[in-house]
Amino acid sequence: MPELPEVEVTCQGIRPHLQGQRVTEVVVRQPQLRWPIEPEILQMQGQTITGVRRRAKYLLLETDIGVLILHLGMSGSLRVLDPAPAPEKHDHLDLVLGSGAVLRLNDPRRFGAAIWWTHPLLEHPLLAKLGPEPLTSAFNADYLMSQLKGKKKAVKLALMDNQVVVGVGNIYANEALFSAGIDPRRPAGTLNRARVSQLVDEVKTVLARAIKQGGTTLKDFTQADGKPGYFAQQLLVYGRGGEACPLCQRILTEVKLGQRATVFCDRCQR
């Protein structure tokens, strides 16, 4: 599914087309997504989008009376279309803008979400208990040490816990742990401060690099045939189980941790 960099690139891509635009019509073709799209979403009609931002893997379209919370699920994508072609089978939601453009949600597997929320944003159950954003100063070595202290669970699983830090999904957990030289199976609480500090730095580096790469790969969010949820990435270990380690040439090991594919080098990662 799209991870934090893909969602951030989507956010950056659609923001210039949405911010400051009035929503003239909301068209719901298929309300049965991960959670049903409630009729209250029609309250967006006539409202101006005052902000477009990301929290974890959620996109937030803000208005004066509420926020539309969007999640791309496993297969969702957003496009800004002007003019908008006729909708296809998996085009479930349109926001028609005053400019004449349309923001369209396409989601073949329907695991995405479109939730209209009129209460304080941090009170929403999906957002209330989220950890800090990984690219902010709130995610630092002291903070992560406090979260990992005494934990016996594998460090990779702790890193993927959204209550610890948001948005470090499977791909980037694999990559950051490799770059930091840390065995993903290692009990989280056994890492000393120096190694935790290095891990924090590598998480920030791999995510920032992926966002930058996506920003250069996906320059246009206004064409109907693109897929803004995904972009080509240069990955060191993820998806490369059985291949040679890029550092020592030893064969990379692949195991399951928390039912997720985990690839690492048992020589370079300790």
Exposure on the CB side of residue 90, measured as CA atoms within 13 A? 14
Distance CA 131, CA 166 (A): 6
Distance CA 189, CA 226 (A): 43
Distance CA 182, CA 184 (A): 6
Which of these is catalytic: 22, 34, 260, 267?
260
Beta carbons within 8 Å of 83's beta carbon, 6+ residues apart: 100
**Considering only CA atoms, which of 170, 168, 183, 176 is closest in space to residue 199?**
176
Please indicate whether residue 57 is annotated as part of the active site.
Answer: yes
Does the annotation place 119 within a ligand binding site?
Answer: no
Place of tokens 């250069």: 216
Does the annotation place 151 within a ligand binding site?
Answer: yes
User: Do residues 152 and 118 lie in contact, with contact meaning Cβ atoms separated by under 8 Å?
Assistant: no
- Laid out side by side, the sheet with 113-117 consists of 51-55, 58-62, 67-71, 113-117
**Which residues are 257's β-sheet partners?**
260
Please indicate whether residue 2 is annotated as part of the active site.
Answer: yes
Distance CA 48, CA 220 (A): 23
**Considering only CA atoms, which of 80, 69, 56, 81 is closest in space to residue 2?**
56
Please indicate whether residue 204 is annotated as part of the active site.
Answer: no
DSSP state of 43: G
Which of these is catalytic: 3, 6, 8, 202?
3
Which of these is catalytic: 15, 57, 79, 195?
57
Tokens of 97: 């803008």
User: Do residues 193 and 266 lie in contact, with contact meaning Cβ atoms separated by under 8 Å?
Assistant: no
Does the annotation place 89 within a ligand binding site?
Answer: no
Determine the length of the chain.
Answer: 270
DSSP state of 221: -
Pick out the residues of the known binding site for DNA: 90, 109, 151
Instruction: Point out the annotated binding site.
Output: 90, 109, 151
Q: Which residues are catalytic?
A: 2-3, 57, 260
